[in-house]
Amino acid sequence: MENPSALAHPLPAGAQVPAHLVDSTSRYVESGLRGAANTIRAYAGDWQRFTTWCQLHQLDSLPAPVEALAGFLTELADAGKKVTTIQRHTAAIAKAHELAGLDSPTTDKKIKVLLKGIAREKKTRIKQAAAFTLAIFKRTIKGIDVSTPTGLRNWALLLLGFTGAFRRSELEALNIEHLAFDEEGLVVSLDQSKTNQLGQAEEKAIFYSPDPALCPIRSLQAWLRVLDRTEGCVFVSLRKNQQVTTRRMTTKY
């Protein structure tokens, strides 16, 4: 087996990739990740950091030799970077090679062993949360104080989100005009979502529950009576005195 210490001191790998190709690759990486703004910024920054490191050490970044990647990851680890940060850099480098149609050094066994060693030395432990069962969900819902506007809103929000498998962004963007009630249930129309980037019409059907306390439709109707309006956002923020606003609820409010 190759001496692990040799991986931390990569050797020159010949001519560098022209700078204009490196810039183009960075642009392609961003395009390939379009739709996840935070991921775009993180991956683009990670890829730029790797290419700069390779240029400094006169190494190719695309395709990158295994020794170059090993040295880069080792330097990140020695600099005190978290395991998750190192893994993200590795993913960004893998994505760049994938988009360029090249074999990625991230799949090499030496890199996998190196990453395991870094994680072990940093004593990273992944803690698995206890399963959130349906029984726990029901108890949580029935424990909500629905005598207040905040309680009513949260009651409707949780039940609708759970039964309709809505994303957080879909619930935040939901308007009263998107709701169509009838005697059989409710149809929710979605304009655009993470899985519907083209904005094509999408509908979700929601049905009554035999248990009124767990019924997404009855809870939503109760909340709409508090709103007392026929258009605008469904889930809004509330002031500390329980006064309902017209401001759309977000993760900040």
List all residues 6 or more positions away from 197 whose beta carbon is below 8 Å from its beta carbon. 35
Structural domain ending residue among the three candidates 87, 102, 122? 122
Q: Give the chain's end-to-end CA distance (angstroms, integer).
A: 56
Closest CA to 63 of 72, 71, 54: 54
Kindly state the tokens that stand for 164.
């309709």
Specify whether 116 is located in the same domain as 195.
Answer: no
What pLDDT was estimated at residue 160? Answer: 94
| Statement: residue 10 has pLDDT above 50 | no
How far, in Å, CA of 105 to CA of 160, rounded? 45
Residues 6+ apart with CB under 8 A from 32: 95, 98, 99
Domain-embedded: residue 232? yes
Instruction: Give the CATH number, domain containing residue 53.
Output: 1.10.150.130
User: Exposed e or buried b for every residue in 149-184, given b needs 16+ CB within 10 A?
Assistant: bbebbbbbbbbbbebbebeeebbbbbeeebbeeeee
pLDDT confidence of residue 253: 47
- Report whether 126 contacts 168 (CB < 8 A): no
pLDDT for residue 44: 78
Clarify whether residues 30 and 76 are in a common domain: yes
Quick one: pLDDT band at residue 211, thresholds 50, 70, 90?
A: very high
Expressed as residue numbers, the domain containing 98 is 25-122
What is the number of domains present in the chain?
2
The residue type found at 104 is S
Task: Report the percent of the chain where pLDDT is more than 90.
Answer: 43
Where residue 11 falls among pLDDT bands split at 50, 70, 90?
A: very low
- 165 is a domain residue: yes
Entry pTM: 0.50
- pLDDT, residue 185, reads 94
- Judged by phi (left if over 0) then psi (alpha if -120 to 50, else beta), residue 104 lies in beta
Taking only the tens place, the pLDDT of each residue in 41-90 is 667 788 888 888 988 888 888 888 999 999 999 999 988 888 888 999 99
Are 96 and 174 members of one domain?
no
Q: What is the pLDDT at residue 127?
A: 55
Cβ neighbours for 211, distance < 8 A, ≥ 6 positions apart: none
DSSP label at 195? T
Task: Say whether both 74 and 143 belong to one domain.
Answer: no
Q: What CATH number is given to the structural domain containing 230?
A: 1.10.443.10
Mean pLDDT check: name the lowest of 6-20, 72-86, 158-172: 6-20
Q: Tell me which of 15 and 87 has the higher pLDDT.
A: 87
State both tokens at 104: 């990625």
More confident of the two residues 195 and 106: 106
